[in-house]
Every structure is written in C-alpha cells, then in structure tokens.
Amino acid sequence: MNIAQSIVEALETLNGNKLRSGLTILGIVIGVGAVIAMLAIGQGAQDTITGAISGIGTNLLFVSSGNQLQDVRNPKPLTLGDAQAIADPYAAPDVLAVAPLIQGRADITASGQTMSVSVTGTVPAYFAMQNYSLLEGDFLTQDNLQGNASAVVIGPGVADKLFDRRNGVVGETIRINGQPFRVVGILQSKGGGMFGSQDNQVIVPFTTAQTRLIHRSILNEVDQLFIQVVSAKAVPLATDEVKQILRQRHRTPVGMDDFTVFSQADFLSIATTVTGVFTIFLGGIAGISLLVGGIGIMNIMLVSVTERTREIGLRKALGARRRDILIQFLIESSMLSLIGGLIGILLGWFLGFIVGRIASASGNPFNPAISLNAILLATLFSAAVGLFFGIYPANRAAGLEPVEALRYE
C-alpha cells in the first residue's frame, strides 16, 4: 500500500474523531512545548551568564586563598606582599596590573535611610579591570589610596535607595558603619552578575577598608587578587608566573598549592557546565510530560484498535497483510505525535518569548534561544514517541485473526 495514500487515510480517520484526536495531540503539544521552552530558557540563561562573564574581560586572573581541589594543611592567606611581588614586572612580565581586594558587609546610612551592602576595598586599577563606567564623579585615585581617604564610589542601587536619585549625589556624605564617607562617584548599572548584584555595592580605598572597616586577623591580608594580563593569549603564561611566585613566597610543598588561580576561561567553562546541567534537568522534567503524552497516544490507539476490530477483520478479508495493518496504525499514532510535535514547537517558542519579555520587563535582559537542534530533537523525539507507543497497539491490530475480528461485536 502506498505511503502517501496511507497518510491521507490516517488523517481522515483522525479527523473523524476530532475531540479524541485533539485531546491526544494536546498531550504531545504540552510535552513538546515544555521541552522546547525549557531548553530555550536554559540556553538563554547560559548565553546571559557566559555573556556576563565575558563582559568582565577575557584577560583576567582571579587568585584566592586555599586550594579548592584538595585539602592543604595550614593554607597561608594572600597578602599585600603577594600582590606587590606579582606586580613586579621582572618576576611576572606578562602581568599588567594587580588589584588586591578585601570584602565584607557593612550597614550604610544617609538621610535617615539604612541598608546593608557589600563593601569592597581595592586600588584604582580595579575599576579598569572590571570595565566599570561612571554615571557621574570620578573613580578612586591613587591619592585616595595613599591618604587613607574617606572616599567612596557607590553603585546605582545604593544611590536609589539612600537618595532616591542618581544625579547630584557626588559630594554627599554617607555613613559606613557609622563613619562618614564622601561620595566621589556613582557607577553605571551592570545588572545582576555572577557574584550577586553589582549595583548594590560600595567601593572604598583598600587602605581605608583595611584600617577602618574590614578587620582581618593577619597583617595586610587580602581576600582576592585580580590580575590583569597583558593580552588574552598570555593568560596561560601569566598563570604560571603567578603560581611560581606564590609557591615561592608561601613555601608550599610540590603539588600542594595553598591558593587557587582561576582564569576567565575556567569561570566560563564552569558556568557552561552548570547551566548545561540545569538545562538538562529542566528538559528532563519537561520530558516526563512528553512521556505522559506518549502514554496517552498508546491508550487512545488501544481503544481505537478495539473499536475498529471489525474494520480490521474486513480489511484482512479484503487482502490486507499483517504489515498493511501494522503500518496503518503506526502511521496514525505517528501522525498524532508529529502534529502534536509541530504545534508544540510553536507553543514552546511562544512560552520562551513570553519568559523573555517578562525577564526584560523586570530588568534582566534575557533571550531564550531556540536552537535548530532543539527543534530537530523535539520533532524526532515526538515522532519516536508516536512510533514507540504505537507499536504495541498496532501489533495487536495486525495480529488479529480475520475470522475472530469479523465476528467481533
């Protein structure tokens, strides 16, 4: 029997029972739609996160204390001395600049408003490394650093909360842990980042933070080092130089580094892995609904086989072989799932679009991306679901004895 003719006939049969076919298709539509939407959202999240990381700059290294891969005894903290050693152009020729960081939380108040924010103490080079730009005022200066100045650069979120405006805030005084600081600059909004919102932070000179705001038990201890490398290509070289210097200074045994050097690429690969797992997880949950839709197909096909026992008997009496009946029912179930799959792709695209719009409206630009792969996967998977769940009912139909089937009431 000719396949095109069989497809037309299958469509006619499904059309003959619109409500039932429609509901069965709906099960697949929801399944495929959910899978597509979840994959799109996962992909969008991945794009956003990797974009945010890349936005910081591709030639950065981050050094933190402690080894994150294995246990090391008595890890030595990073110090300003380490930072100065790495900044030495003879010891580490591929390092352009080093910014030591010390971070903590503090309560800040101004005009009667109080909020708890993240306080970072660092050096002027940090601003360039982070690609920060200013709404108004200036970044911290070398003078601020050397003079232990009570100067602060604040994020736009802080300005909103404390002053209810972003203009003319420079020159105002805010209190950090009760101590007065003069606002010298306001950062432009960067939105949420990997380390929480960067809009709700304040940045003060390293010396000021160290002496007056964030107390560490060890002299000149720093939490992290940001290192700018001369070029993206030189990142592996610079990583080795930094490791050499720190190993010497910390006198670590071979293979027992008590610090961790991360590059931008490391962060990217971690983020990609995490969002990839997240996407698979979401897609897997959505896949369950596709499975349920498939069981719906099987159920309805079994009902259909029982209802049409006489028809099957008749077709066999007229010369239909086992294969003809098998193909007829397989085509019917595949049509159900294929139509469901196509509508589901549209639904998934629509859901992704809605989520994207909601995310944009709430200030987090986010583009759910529907890849061609996802569409192919969903189409193939739904057709496979139709075939798989159609096999048992179709086999049952094809195996009917013509005499028994014709006698069936």
Question: For the chain, what is the radius of gyration of the CA atoms?
Answer: 32
DSSP-assigned beta bridge partners for residue 60: 228
What would the x/- binding string for another protein be over residues 8 to 27, using CB under 8 A?
-x--xx--x-----------
Under rule CB under 8 A, residue 402 binds another protein: yes
Nearest CB to another protein, comparing residues 161 and 316: 316
Number of shown-chain residues binding another protein (CB under 8 A): 24
Among 105, 215, 233, 322, binds another protein (CB under 8 A): 322
Judge contact between 202 and 153, C-beta under 8 A: yes
Q: Does 3 bind another protein (CB under 8 A)?
A: no
Would residue 74 be called left, alpha or beta, if left means φ above 0 and alpha means ψ between -120 and 50 degrees? left
Least distance from C-beta 356 to another protein, angstroms? Answer: 44
| Strand blocks (E) in 188-236 | 192-193, 196-197, 201-205, 221-222, 224-229
Contact predicate 150/202, CB 8 Å? no
CA distance 27 to 296: 7
> To the nearest whole angstrom, how small is the minimum distance from the Cβ of residue 398 to another protein?
10
Sign of the torsion angle spanned by Cα atoms 328, 334, 339, 340: positive
Q: Can you tell me the distance from the alpha carbon of 165 to that of 159, in angstroms, rounded to the nearest whole number? A: 6
- Interface residue with another protein, options 320, 327, 339, 375 (CB under 8 A): 320
215 makes contact with another protein (CB under 8 A): no
**Rounded Cα–Cα distance for residues 27 and 344 (Å):** 9
Among 2, 70, 74, 217, binds another protein (CB under 8 A): 2
| Residues of this chain, 266-285, that bind another protein according to CB under 8 A | none
Residue 195 C-alpha from the chain's centroid: 13
Of 215, 233, 310, 357, which lies in the binding site for another protein, with binding defined by CB under 8 A? Answer: 310
Judged by CB under 8 A, the residue of 47, 160, 223, 324 near another protein is 324
Query: Hey, what are 311's tokens?
Result: 């028809």
To another protein, the closest distance from the beta carbon of 5 in angstroms equals 7
Sequence-distant (≥ 6) Cβ neighbours of residue 289 within 8 angstroms:
30, 31, 34, 35
Interatomic CA distance for residues 369 and 363, integer angstroms = 18
CB-wise, 71 or 409, nearer to another protein? 409
Compute the distance between CA of residue 93 and CA of residue 204 in angstroms, rounded to an integer. Answer: 29
**Residue whose structure tokens are 């200066």:** 141
Rounded to an integer, what distance in angstroms lies between the CA atom of residue 22 and that of residue 326? 22
Q: Which residues of 163-187 are buried (b: 16+ CB within 10 A; e: fewer)?
A: beebeebbeeebebeeeebebbbbb
Q: Which is nearer to another protein, 233 or 407 (CB)?
A: 407
CB of 270 to another protein, least distance (A): 59
> Is residue 71 at the binding interface for another protein, with CB under 8 A as the rule?
no
Q: Which helix (H) or strand (E) holds 132?
A: none
DSSP secondary-structure letter at 77? P
Residue among 81 and 399 whose Cβ is closer to another protein: 399
Smallest gap, in angstroms, from Cβ of residue 396 to another protein?
15
Cα atoms found within 13 Å of the Cα of residue 211, Cβ hemisphere only: 9
Q: How far is the CB of 391 from another protein (least distance, A)?
A: 19
Q: Which is nearer to another protein, 318 or 361 (CB)?
A: 318
Which among 35-43, 151-159, 314-322, 356-364 is the span making contact with another protein, rule CB under 8 A?
314-322
Binding part of the chain for another protein, among 188-196, 277-285, 352-360, 399-407 by CB under 8 A, reads: 399-407
The residue (of 241 and 311) whose beta carbon lies closer to another protein is: 311
Question: Based on CB atoms, which residue is closest to another protein, 145 or 400?
Answer: 400
Residue from 105, 233, 323, 357 in contact with another protein (CB under 8 A): 323
Q: Does 315 bind another protein (CB under 8 A)?
A: yes
Does 303 interact with another protein (rule: CB under 8 A)? no
Cα dihedral sign, 110-113-119-124: negative
- Residue 396 as a binder of another protein (CB under 8 A): the answer is no
Residue 112 interacting with another protein (CB under 8 A): no
- For binding to another protein (CB under 8 A), which residues are involved? 1-2, 5, 9, 12-13, 16, 310-311, 314-324, 401-403, 406
